[in-house]
Amino acid sequence: MKRSMWVCVAVVLALLAGCSQPLGAPAGLGEPDPSLAPEGLAMGMGAVDTSSRGTLSPEAVEARALGYVAGIDVSYYQGAIDWKAVYAAGKRFAFARVSYGTNTVDSRFAANWPAMKAAGIIRGAYQFFRPSQDAAAQANLFLSKLGKLEAGDLPAVIDVEVTEGVAGSVIVSKVRTWVNIVKAATGKMPIIYTSPGFWNSLPGTSVLSDCTLWVAHWGVSSPSLPSAWSSWKFWQYSDSGSVSGISGAVDLDWFNGDLTALKLFASTKVAVYEAPFTRSLRLASPIMTGRDVTLLQTLLNDWAKATGRAPIAADGVFGNGTSSLVKTFQGARGLLADGIAGPATQAELVRVFTSLTTYYTPYTRTLRRTSPTMYGNDVKAFQTAYNVWARLKGQPTLVVDGYFGLASENAALRFQGAETRLLGAPDGIAGKMTQRLLFVRSWK
């Protein structure tokens, strides 16, 4: 979403440097220069392929658009927008920027987000991803500003188009972290915005092929695809559109399908697993193994002990014994007793484990700030478990010193504040439920 001011700056700099590269494809893949753009780059200023850029006639653009739905993406660069006029101009979806990494919350997002919906536009939100920053911190900022997705909202978008000097393998790993956090919070698989030229320079991107592709490729009759995908869902085909209700240029996009398909896509959710589970567990060939199976068995055994049933070996192998105990748990809790520990079973198991009224090893007491200060290995266990969770969530960590002082109380408040669904109102006291749920969330 380049504005004329930035274009002028870029042209002047190019002339001074004797640069012969096409505008929009600067050296270094367009990494941001904070001195030129105090709120960071707009979408597409770093990633977009321009190697085959040309000038399309309006007729060619319209012909290519047959069977597609027209939309736009915006940020503070567009200023105040008349969204009703945008809708009247035929745009049926739009994405608005939430932030530039953790540096800057987009100053227009708070106004754009409700206004898009009020105008009847199917809305989505994106974050310009900064590889040099913590992925979890960026994801959590994005979620805090976005709030809860409502019915009909599009999945969240991560805009991946700069390296900032970070190794490609690290970028891919950080994007996966962002995707996992946002998927778990929203219940929808996020969309990745990128270009083929940028994306194909990164190694090991197949691990992100489960995400939806929004490809950026301007001025061509059909976009090239990044290596991880065989099709595109959204295509940003221009950075210089003119749309009623918006002063100046704006990015133009297509959705690959008709309006019915777009509405269906916006309404589709993915199975959200209860953290730290990331898959359904069942009898399978080859047999399922892993730390997640061990956690499942551990939680089942605690429930079995509390209800007078025989435990199973917590060996990380999903065999007949585990399947049988899963069926027993499901039947006792009113779930479909199919022996498959999917999202619903995992969620109920975590809820039951959290609510059991006994202390769970190594805890034997409730931890709170007192005088004299509580001290012991159980406090160290709490601090260690909290730090695992904190690193996953981009929260401050603790010094593991065994003292339950103000820092530990604040840590308990932060954890409880993120888990009000199961723990209720935060109080800073690490009692049985907090201890039990922290055990689950810090499992690795």
Lowest mean pLDDT among 41-55, 83-97, 173-187, 373-387: 41-55
Share above pLDDT 70 across residues of the chain, in percent, rounded to a whole number: 85
Name the token pair of 297. 């068995």
> Same domain, yes or no, for 346 and 222?
no
Lowest mean pLDDT among 81-85, 275-279, 426-430: 275-279
Name the token pair of 317. 């192998």
Distances (CA, A) of 418 to 269, 359, 390, 434: 22, 22, 11, 11
Q: Cα–Cα distance between 223 and 13 in angstroms, integer?
A: 29
User: What does the pLDDT read at residue 66?
Assistant: 63
| Each residue's pLDDT tens digit, 197-229 | 999 999 999 889 889 999 999 989 899 999 889
Between residues 52 and 142, the one the model is more confident about:
142
Q: Cα–Cα distance between 173 and 202 in angstroms, integer?
A: 11
Q: Coil, strand, or helix at residue 251? A: strand
Question: Does position 15 have pLDDT exceeding 50, yes or no?
Answer: no
- Tell me if 335 sits within 8 A of 344, measured CB to CB: yes
User: What does the pLDDT read at residue 44?
Assistant: 66
Asked about 159 being catalytic, the answer comes back as: yes
Residue 180 lies in a domain: yes
Question: Does position 233 have pLDDT exceeding 80, yes or no?
Answer: yes
User: What does the pLDDT read at residue 274?
Assistant: 87
> Same domain, yes or no, for 22 and 169?
yes
Confidence of residue 62 (pLDDT cuts 50, 70, 90): low
**What is the residue-wise DSSP string for 152-207?**
TPPPPEEE----TT--HHHHHHHHHHHHHHHHHHHSSPPEEEE-HHHHTTSS-GGG
Residue 93 lies in a domain: yes
Question: Does position 127 have pLDDT exceeding 90, yes or no?
Answer: yes
> Same domain, yes or no, for 114 and 253?
yes
* Catalytic choice (49, 106, 153, 161): 161
Centroid of chain to Cα 294:
27
Residue 345 lies in a domain: yes
Q: How many CA atoms lie within 13 A of 2 on its CB side?
A: 23
| H/E run at residue 70 | strand 69-74
Residue 278 lies in a domain: no
> Same domain, yes or no, for 192 and 43?
yes
> Same domain, yes or no, for 135 and 47?
yes
Between residues 65 and 185, the one the model is more confident about:
185
> Same domain, yes or no, for 233 and 137?
yes
- Tell me if 207 sits within 8 A of 178, measured CB to CB: no
User: What does the pLDDT read at residue 48?
Assistant: 60
| Each residue's pLDDT tens digit, 345-354 | 999 999 999 9
Cβ-in-10-Å burial (0-12, 13-18, 19+) of 131 comes to buried
> Same domain, yes or no, for 128 and 33?
yes
* CB neighbour list of residue 320: distance below 8 Å, 6 or more residues apart: 283
**What is the residue-wise DSSP string for 383-419?**
HHHHHHHHHHHTPPP---SSB-SHHHHHHHHHHHHHT
Question: Does position 52 have pLDDT exceeding 70, yes or no?
Answer: no
- Tell me if 236 sits within 8 A of 216, measured CB to CB: yes
| Each residue's pLDDT tens digit, 359-384 | 999 999 999 999 999 999 999 999 99
Residue 99 lies in a domain: yes
Q: In the chain, how many domains are there?
A: 2
Mean pLDDT of the chain: 86
Q: Cα–Cα distance between 288 and 345 in angstroms, integer?
A: 17
Question: Does position 49 have pLDDT exceeding 70, yes or no?
Answer: no
The last residue of one of the domains, among 267, 300, 334, is: 267
Q: State the CATH number of the domain containing residue 387.
A: 1.10.101.10
Question: Does position 146 have pLDDT exceeding 80, yes or no?
Answer: yes
| Each residue's pLDDT tens digit, 293-326 | 999 999 999 999 999 999 999 999 999 999 999 9
Q: Cα–Cα distance between 338 and 213 in angstroms, integer?
A: 35
Task: Give residue 64's domain range.
Answer: 4-267
Residue 276 lies in a domain: no
Lowest mean pLDDT among 43-47, 191-195, 227-231, 335-339: 43-47
User: What does the pLDDT read at residue 272?
Assistant: 72
Secondary structure of 113-130 as H, E, C letters? HHHHHHCCCEEEEEEECC
| H/E run at residue 59 | helix 58-64
> Same domain, yes or no, for 68 and 215?
yes
Lowest mean pLDDT among 58-72, 124-138, 333-347: 58-72
The last residue of one of the domains, among 222, 252, 267, is: 267
Name the token pair of 92. 């049926």
Asked about 73 being catalytic, the answer comes back as: yes
User: What does the pLDDT read at residue 28?
Assistant: 25
Asked about 161 being catalytic, the answer comes back as: yes
Q: State the CATH number of the domain containing residue 133.
A: 3.20.20.80
Residue 341 lies in a domain: yes
Q: Coil, strand, or helix at residue 350? A: helix
Confidence of residue 65 (pLDDT cuts 50, 70, 90): low
User: What does the pLDDT read at residue 368?
Assistant: 98
| Each residue's pLDDT tens digit, 108-123 | 999 999 999 999 999 9
The last residue of one of the domains, among 252, 267, 282, is: 267
| H/E run at residue 343 | helix 343-355
- Tell me if 435 sits within 8 A of 360, measured CB to CB: yes
Is this model's pTM higher than 0.85 or not?
A: no
> Same domain, yes or no, for 172 and 240?
yes
| Each residue's pLDDT tens digit, 392-425 | 988 899 999 999 999 999 999 999 999 998 999 9
User: What does the pLDDT read at residue 284?
Assistant: 92
Residue 131 lies in a domain: yes
Q: Cα–Cα distance between 71 and 129 in angstroms, integer?
A: 22
* Catalytic choice (39, 73, 251, 302): 73
* Catalytic choice (49, 159, 274, 348): 159
Mean pLDDT of 432-443: 97
Mean pLDDT of 329-354: 92
| Each residue's pLDDT tens digit, 85-100 | 999 999 999 999 999 9
Phi, psi for 213 (deg, rounded to 5): -95, 130
Question: Does position 278 have pLDDT exceeding 60, yes or no?
Answer: yes
User: What does the pLDDT read at residue 195?
Assistant: 96
> Same domain, yes or no, for 238 and 138?
yes
> Same domain, yes or no, for 223 and 302?
no
> Same domain, yes or no, for 58 and 207?
yes
